[in-house]
Structure 1
Amino acid sequence: MEMRFLTLEDRPLLERLLRENPYKEIQVAFQRLDPEKTVQFHADRILRQATGPDSPVWVCQAGNRTGILGIQPSETHSQFFGFSIFSIEPILTYNLRTPDKEEALQRVGDVLEAKGARLVWARCDENEGDLNHCLVQVGGEYCGATVRLSRWLSASPRPEGSPNFRVRAVQDEDRPALRDLARANHTHSHFLRDPNLPRERKPDVFPAYLDRCFGHKNRPFLVAEDSSGKVVGFSLLLCPEGQEQRLGQTIGIVDFIAVDESAQGKGVGAGLLAESFDLMERQGYRLVELKTMLDNVKGIQFYQKYGFRMLSAELHFSIGGRSGRWP
């Protein structure tokens, strides 16, 4: 199999692979994305990556079958955990045969080892069944699956909160309470299941993430408090700009939602969701999207109760860590 660096001249090839990707059809159809704008958006992103100094992308050619593989350093996570972390992204290998996928991953692994990667993350669509096997073959350890759910904001039913709790905009003095809530109540995550991450640092992953998001214009927080003023839950939203031009659609994202264990089942989550919907609608979004872990059964049932539909699932793998080398 031939592997060479992706260049700007490969754009037609890249666009074709993106256009024919069978694992995005449900999302594109349900969210009514503009198919061509979506292809152009992802092609632009991958080509920008390919021109970066430390994020190569390769064209993998095996006969008349073609795939795309790339790697990116995860600077934020590397800094947080104190060692070099990379991710294998993008992965467009649906057109390759299983032995070719394994060979491509091994060769990318040689590059990662030469770069000193201590840990490598990879994701694959659940429907590309042989790819998860290939990732295991190169030393990947399964860390769980995330599901993408979405609904139209104008659809029914609408969530309704409880009058016993008030939802408001976040204030700076809420930060310690938000950190504590995230640390204690956000327990469904592939980070927490990654056997190659230091156990003592895992509880602080999400509090640190909240700190990075705090104060950003496009990352609004909403806080739920009880009658005594105690913070019992919060939501963190992602409100991207320029989506109409890039995707032909507007999609707000519920990036994070956490409710104190003592307040669960009392309408706090529904109230946060309702206010999140209202905020997104005021900003002109038509759809809302979120991700959660596949084994978060209660959470998925809660979202489906309010009209969310499952669009896709991704499997997460962690490679390396124990020996500090690609296996």
Structure 2
Amino acid sequence: MTNKKLKEFRIQGLERDDLKDSPELDALFLGYPYKDFQLRQLDIPKEKMLKYLKASLGGKQVNSAYLTEEGRLVGLISARHLPWLSGHFKANMFTLQHLLTSGKEPGYFQNMIRYLLDQMESIDFLDCRVAAGDINAIQALENSGFRFVGNEIFLVRSLLKDPLDESYRHPECVPCPDDMQDQVFDLAAKTHFHNRYMYDPEVAPEEAAAIYQRYLSGLAFNSDYHCLIKLEDGQVQGFIFYKYNQNLSHMVGRGYASLDFIGVNNSARNRGLGDALNRAALWHLSKMGVTHVVVRTLGSNYPALRIVHKVGFRITSSDLHFHHWLRPKARENSANQHPDLIFP
């Protein structure tokens, strides 16, 4: 990339009206080809998804930059703060939620990443999830010091094209009462080892294993999530959390939800509990007017992939996850040492 092009690299807040309504910004999103099949399975027109994606560029916790070449917008990079994970790891953590160019080679991506890191001097960690087919972005992340930590599978179940039958009604799977929540937390700590931090050498195994238990204890039992459990002799043998995506549903005009966390006691496995919990959650969501349900899980989580495929989910895309610890010892610091990061 020439120096002339580097001089045209500009940083701007994308909530600005002139940029928000830019046809070149629209073209970047609409021209991204790696999620087209997934969007078709979700019955989401790209134009409606565009509105949803552009809404993610606003807010104090989002830092975005764009690349221009000869006066034209040809690249976008956007990082969003991760407050919960920042508190968990005691580090200033961000995720690259958008990394796009208009068909450019890896050097364009690398210069955007380098510029972002130069501007965000107090950042400790960046993660990025990128489509498996986006080779230029993948190469740029590797060249910029990011480490591959696992692949993620995205699956979709349409309740419109394939309505549920009575086999999905499982009355033995019931909403979790308040006095059973501690049992769910304990079971989550024992069963949720399938997370990408387990494959990050900068993260201690016990620290990675505690992520889901702490996440559930802090966020899961609120108005956003629903939880079903399966009891035997007064003990929780399995649980599933699922969530209705209100923002996406409102923008698209359909009902979208996700199955987020599931756990089954090791002693109760291979008895159909996971299948029953997934079916019961889908049944509850169908009664809420949901039309499409999604699942994301690591590609190495073969038991989960087998179960969700059995209840009608189909793979629609595959992503690669990358981590970049800019200061590996950052987790020893207090997250409070870093102020909220915004571009000047």
Q: TM-score, normalised by structure 1?
A: 0.89
Question: Alpha-carbon deviation of 1:210?
Answer: 0.8
CA contact (8 A) 1:94 1:128 kept: no
| Aligned residue in 2 for 1:153 | 159
| Aligned residue in 1 for 2:250 | 245
- Count, aligned residues: 317
Is residue 2:153 matched to residue 1:142?
no
Q: What secondary structure does 2:35 align onto?
A: helix
| Aligned residue in 1 for 2:240 | 235
Question: Alpha-carbon deviation of 1:130?
Answer: 2.3
CA contact (8 A) 1:196 1:318 kept: no
| Aligned residue in 1 for 2:66 | 59
CA contact (8 A) 2:192 2:209 kept: no
Equivalent-residue separation in structure 1 for 2:231 and 2:130 (angstroms): 38
User: Closer, same or farther in 2 for the Cα pair 1:160/1:137, shift >3 Å?
Assistant: same
User: Closer, same or farther in 2 for the Cα pair 1:178/1:81, shift >3 Å?
Assistant: same
Question: Alpha-carbon deviation of 1:96?
Answer: 2.2
Equivalent-residue separation in structure 2 for 1:261 and 1:157 (angstroms): 28
Question: Alpha-carbon deviation of 1:158?
Answer: 5.7
Note the 1:102-141 alignment, pairs <5 A. Answer: 102-112=110-120, 114=121, 116-141=122-147
CA contact (8 A) 1:65 1:95 kept: no
| Aligned residue in 2 for 1:26 | 37
- Residues 167-204 of structure 1 show CA distances to partners (whole Å, capped at 9, x for unaligned) of 11101122221112211111211122222234442222
The one-letter code matched in structure 1 to 2:42 is Q
User: Closer, same or farther in 2 for the Cα pair 1:33/1:161, shift >3 Å?
Assistant: closer
CA contact (8 A) 1:19 1:39 kept: yes
Is residue 2:229 matched to residue 1:223?
yes
- Residues 259-292 of structure 1 show CA distances to partners (whole Å, capped at 9, x for unaligned) of 1111122110111111101110111001111100
| Aligned residue in 2 for 1:10 | 19
The one-letter code matched in structure 1 to 2:101 is T
Equivalent-residue separation in structure 2 for 1:323 and 1:204 (angstroms): 19
| Aligned equivalent of 2:189, options 165, 183, 189 | 183
- Residues 184-241 of structure 1 show CA distances to partners (whole Å, capped at 9, x for unaligned) of 1112111222222344422221011111234422301000112x12211100011122
Q: Percent identity?
A: 20
| Aligned residue in 2 for 1:90 | 98
The one-letter code matched in structure 1 to 2:18 is E
More moved, 285-294 vs 175-184: 175-184
Q: What secondary structure does 2:241 align onto?
A: strand
Equivalent-residue separation in structure 2 for 1:287 and 1:88 (angstroms): 26
CA contact (8 A) 1:157 1:307 kept: no
Is residue 2:320 matched to residue 1:315?
yes
Equivalent-residue separation in structure 1 for 2:220 and 2:41 (angstroms): 31
Note the 1:37-52 alignment, pairs <5 A. Answer: 37-46=48-57, 48-49=58-59, 52=60
The one-letter code matched in structure 1 to 2:222 is H
Q: TM-score, normalised by structure 2?
A: 0.85
| Aligned residue in 1 for 2:215 | 209
Question: Alpha-carbon deviation of 1:151?
Answer: 1.0
CA contact (8 A) 2:126 2:323 kept: yes
Equivalent-residue separation in structure 1 for 2:78 and 2:186 (angstroms): 36
Structure 2: gaps (5+ residues): 1-5, 332-344
